[in-house]
């Protein structure tokens, strides 16, 4: 076939061949010429078809090669991300900085885990997160909890002299939105870091739901220096210590409070962990080491079965104890509660705790960014993992405010606290 095409090509390109094609005579006059023309046309058609077929084969081979290379690129995660960035950079209707795309990809990796506690932080986000963990940050001055069923952001504590208190925010209020962004659409950490915290002096307008009525309040953010432990002496030398969260300084604050109450003649104590959403595990176990006799106060287990024990030494405090809890008592606060229960060191009073029996570990990266990753389950001394179920108090009693409509909160109007006093007096 190739030889025939080559011969024809040479023949058709000669001057003679051209003349014969152009000066074709009727069949009757020149039958041999007619036959030659037929052969020439047939051969030319074959050549044309060959070119088309050859081009199609070449294009198919090229497409196959391109498809193969593209498949290799898309199989490589880095290559796929680069290709997606290229498509966005080329075709997206707005300009987007590469850093924004990359951070979005990193955040997306952790979103895919479907774990609300695992998170990626940019360097700026991690700096802010660290300031909160250490108890010093710019914000509105309210403790918040995400309702597990509704996704609503609930105010669990309002700090004294904070923007929230000055603006009239109260415990139990639901933050519907902040600057138009609805709380139910975000994880608690994302919502707080993006829309509630901010530089000192900046404003944020929140909408709260209080007993079905929506109220709009504009707050001016301020530096919030959180004291996580408050305390006082009640009647009959009963000490009262409230722990709002476990930050890096809570254990030192706690020891100071305990020793001060001891010096005042404390003979029994109430630890109030209601609305305490947790915090740093080591801080909680340091306090348990301070209070409890020798033994394991909790332990963690990773997915490979590696166990780590947190222990208390023999030094401890002998004192009748009650721990107050509720549905917002979570994480490290449940570690504290579970150890008190399992050591039979005190009585737990209130309602079922939140049920967060997992531990997060932070990893700081060289570029200043960081991740927080759920790495372990934790277990109470008796070997119970309370994740998803919480801790049932020894005395179950729903909170009821005993005062009138015009009364402010006071010890005598808190039925759970009154029950704790009753138990300690027995």
Distance CA 279, CA 360 (A): 10
Distance CA 144, CA 194 (A): 14
Q: Which of 123, 139, 211 is nearest to 178 (CA)?
A: 139
User: Which residues, including other chains, have CB under 8 Å from residue 112's CB and lie 6 or more apart?
Assistant: none
Distance CA 162, CA 223 (A): 9
Structure tokens at 72: 């290799």
Give the sheet arrangement for strand 268-272, strand by strand.
229-234, 238-243, 268-272, 321-325, 347-350, 395-396
Distance CA 159, CA 225 (A): 9
Q: How far is CA 303 from CA 145, 231, 286, 328, 387, in A?
A: 28, 40, 25, 27, 15
Give the residue numbers marked as catalytic: 331, 342, 356
Distance CA 212, CA 205 (A): 19
For 175-200, the DSSP string reads EEEETTEEGGGS-HHHHIIIII---T
Alpha helices in 76-144 (DSSP H): 77-91, 98-111, 123-133
Structure tokens at 127: 């700096």
H/E stretch holding 139? strand 136-139
Residue with tokens 């947190």: 310
Q: Do residues 286 and 251 make contact, with C-beta atoms less than 8 angstroms apart? A: yes
Residue with tokens 């090509």: 9
Query: 3-state class of 221 per DSSP?
Result: coil
Q: Which of 289, 285, 310 is nearest to 300 (CA)?
A: 310
Query: 3-state class of 90 per DSSP?
Result: helix
Other Cβ atoms within 10 Å of 84 Cβ, number: 13
């Amino acid at each position: 076939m190739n030889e025939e095409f080559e011969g024809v090509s040479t023949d058709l390109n000669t001057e003679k061949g051209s003349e014969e094609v152009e000066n074709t005579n009727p069949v009757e006059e020149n039958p041999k010429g007619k036959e030659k023309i037929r052969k020439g046309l047939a051969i030319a058609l074959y050549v044309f078809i060959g070119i088309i077929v050859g081009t199609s084969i070449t294009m198919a081979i090229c497409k196959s090669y391109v498809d193969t290379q593209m498949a290799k690129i898309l199989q490589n995660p880095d290559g796929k991300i680069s290709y997606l960035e290229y498509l966005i950079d080329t075709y997206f209707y707005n300009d987007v900085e590469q850093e924004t795309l990359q951070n979005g990809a990193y955040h997306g990796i952790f979103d895919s885990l479907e774990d609300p506690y695992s998170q990626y932080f940019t360097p700026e986000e991690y700096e802010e997160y660290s300031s909160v963990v250490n108890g010093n940050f710019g914000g509105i001055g309210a403790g918040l909890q995400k309702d597990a069923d509704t996704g609503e952001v609930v105010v669990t504590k309002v700090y004294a002299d904070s923007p929230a208190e000055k603006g009239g925010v109260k415990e139990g209020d639901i933050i519907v939105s902040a600057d138009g962004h609805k709380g139910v659409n975000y994880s608690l950490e994302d919502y707080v870091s993006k829309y509630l915290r901010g530089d000192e002096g900046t404003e944020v307008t929140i909408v709260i739901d209080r007993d079905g009525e929506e109220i709009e309040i504009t707050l001016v953010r301020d530096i919030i220096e959180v004291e996580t432990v408050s305390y006082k002496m009640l009647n009959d030398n009963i000490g009262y210590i409230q722990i709002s969260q476990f930050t890096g300084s809570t254990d030192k604050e706690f020891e100071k409070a305990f020793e001060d109450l001891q010096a005042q003649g404390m003979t029994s104590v109430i630890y109030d962990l209601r609305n305490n959403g947790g915090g740093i595990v080591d801080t909680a176990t340091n306090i348990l080491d301070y209070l409890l006799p020798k033994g394991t106060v909790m332990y963690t287990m990773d997915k490979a079965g590696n166990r780590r024990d947190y222990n208390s030494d023999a030094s401890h405090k002998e004192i009748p104890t009650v721990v107050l809890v509720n549905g917002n008592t979570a994480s490290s606060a449940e570690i504290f509660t579970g150890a008190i229960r399992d050591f039979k060191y005190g009585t737990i009073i209130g309602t079922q705790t939140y049920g967060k029996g997992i531990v997060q570990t932070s990893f700081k990266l060289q570029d200043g960014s960081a991740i927080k990753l759920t790495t372990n389950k934790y277990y109470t001394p008796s070997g119970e993992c309370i994740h998803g179920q919480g801790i049932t108090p020894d005395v179950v009693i729903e909170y009821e405010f005993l005062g009138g409509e015009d009364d402010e909160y006071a010890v005598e109007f808190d039925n759970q606290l009154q029950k704790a006093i009753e138990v300690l007096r027995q």
